Amino acid sequence: MTDHDSLTFVRLMNALGETFNEHVSEVRTEAYFDALRDLDIAQVQQAVRQALASCTFFPKPVELRELLTGSAADNADAAWAELIREVRRVGYIGTPAFTDERVSRAIRETWGSWARLCETLPGEGPELVGWIKQFKAAFGSLAARDTSRALLTEATLDPGVRGYITAERTRIDAGR
């Protein structure tokens, strides 16, 4: 989101507050804006619509994010399924094509190379379960690092936006 999206964002937060009967303070709005800053306003609007339709309680920023991208466990499961599809499709001498580059990174971190993974991948049993857990842990760690890195590179909340949010909250509270 950009600073220009702050009015839309304030309205989205107010919609959540009204729906879930919770007070949305200036600090809460700023914190949510900062936590979701890496998303487009259209994505935030979509997440809020999904939250209004499916959540029982006021959603945390991470829950809004998961409504868009899925949970970490769901994403790791999907990544493992894609890895297995590629093993079956191209084998150890082919070149896999993954929709998420973190799959390739997890393979390199865990097994060193695609060929090594394919040559040593157990067909079934407890060894395979161990490999699945190892891959999902590596994939989850990469996803968490990427998210943290993206959030750390984002600028902190601009004082102008903070002032605008404050003024908007005051105006809305006065209208109640």
User: Of the candidates 107, 96, 112, which has an alpha carbon nearest to the alpha carbon of residue 138?
Assistant: 107
Are 126 and 168 part of one and the same domain? no
Same domain? For 84 and 133 the reply is yes
Query: Which residue range is the domain that position 48 belongs to?
Result: 3-69+156-175
Same domain flag for 128 and 93: yes
Check whether residue 24 and residue 38 sit in a common domain: yes
For residues 83 and 104, membership in a common domain is answered with yes
Query: In this structure, are 95 and 50 located in the same domain?
Result: no
CA distances from 15 to 8, 11, 27, 59, 80 (A): 11, 6, 16, 12, 37
Q: Which of 96-105, 125-134, 145-154 has the lowest mean pLDDT?
A: 145-154
In a shared domain, residues 85 and 134: yes
Q: Are residues 41 and 54 in the same domain?
A: yes
0.85 cut: is pTM over it? no
91 and 144 in a single domain? The answer is: yes
Task: Give the total number of structural domains in the chain.
Answer: 2
Length of the chain: 176
Write the pLDDT tens digit of every residue in 132-175. Answer: 999 999 988 888 787 666 655 544 556 666 677 777 767 777 76
